Amino acid sequence: MLFPDNIGAQLSIDETSLSNGELYTVLTNKAGKGRKGTIVAMIEGTGSDQIIEVIERIPKKLRATVKEITLDMAGSMSKVVVKCFPNATKVIDRFHVQKLAYDAVQEIRIAHRWNAINEETNAIENAKSDNIKYIPKVFQNGDTRKQLLARSRYLLFKSQEKWTEKQKVRAKILFIEYPDIKEAYNLTHSLRMIFSHTKTKGVAYTKLAQWFNTITESGFKSFNTISATIYSHYPEILNFFDNRSTNASAESFNAKIKAFRATQRGVTDISFFLFRLAKIYA
């Protein structure tokens, strides 16, 4: 589906799934605000060549009016923007960058959880062989070690000021027992603060460089991988600080598609579903 008249100065490009994991690439106009005039293009698949072929059907004069496009770190999306929108600035979504850091923290937590599971399994087997009852260690909030690591998942995604009282107690115990998780959490929090409170690109450049140094000193393998990924997309990430643009509008539109899909109890006729999307959002 292609709607050239809906093109605007600020666009977002992202992928979404309609049914059975089949992906579609969606190009949206931020000015549409998730209502009529939002969809610029909706193309089956995520292959850059296929997407470029469709988008280039929009007159070049219209495509030249696009000044900024937000996207994730997918190479195919970047290629589409470079080829189809020569005057547009690429802005990599800050939340995709932060998610990489969150995933690194969770990787450390999960590794500790597997160790805790293995330790408990061995302790149970040893207790059986000694004909005694196994009683796991329970922390002051009532969690066993295995439960502490499992139940800490969601609090590690949030800022400390958003923790509930129970989460504060759990986090205190977690950070005492696992200092490396605390250090990793602080690294993600400092990255979040750079995006939230830095106003200019020059200051952000310096702060991110300092963050990279801290990552190197931490010795966390997963964080080193992340820093390398971020470094390879450095200019596009820093472009966020020009207008503080994110891909939130695209994520919000994807959520609307999923909610609409849920009301239909799934998608059986994709053509008709796309027709209805076009009527409502294009």
Cα–Cα distance, 88 to 71 (Å, whole number) = 12
Q: Are residues 136 and 66 part of one domain? A: no
82 and 149 share a domain?
A: no
Q: In the prediction, which pLDDT does 276 show?
A: 87
Structure confidence at residue 27 (pLDDT)? 93
What pLDDT was estimated at residue 217?
Answer: 83
pLDDT for res 175: 96
Which pair of structure tokens corresponds to residue 125?
């087997």
Q: Which tokens hold the place of 111?
A: 């590794």
Q: What angle do CA 20, 93, 263 make, to 5 degrees?
A: 35
Same domain? For 17 and 119 the reply is: no
Instruction: Note whether 218 and 263 are same-domain residues.
Output: no
Q: Are residues 15 and 64 in the same domain?
A: yes
Helix (H) or strand (E) holding 68: strand 68-71
Task: Report pLDDT digits (tens) over 69-91.
Answer: 999 888 889 999 999 999 999 99
The pLDDT of residue 74 is 84
Q: Is the CB of residue 73 less than 8 Å from the CB of residue 96?
A: yes
The percent of the chain in helix, strand and coil, each rounded to the nearest 5, is 60, 15, 25
State the DSSP string of 13-47: EEEEEEETTEEEEEEEEGGGTTSTT-EEEEEEB--
Q: Are residues 104 and 229 in the same domain?
A: yes
How many domains in the chain? 2
Do residues 220 and 273 share a domain? no
Taking 50 as the pLDDT cut, the residues of the chain under it are none
Q: For residue 41, what pLDDT is reported? A: 93
Smallest Cα–Cα separation from 195: which of 207, 181, 182, 177?
207
CATH number of the domain enclosing 52 = 3.30.420.10
| Owning domain of residue 160 | 95-242
Specify the long-range contacts of residues 18-27, CB closer than 8 Å, at least 24 apart: 18/257, 18/261, 18/267, 18/270, 18/273, 18/274, 19/261, 19/266, 19/267, 19/268, 19/270, 25/51, 25/77, 25/80, 26/250, 26/253, 26/254, 26/257, 27/55
Residues 16 and 78 in one domain: yes
Cα separation of 154 and 150, whole Å? Answer: 9
Q: For residues 186 and 108, what is the distance between their CA atoms, to the nearest angstrom?
A: 13
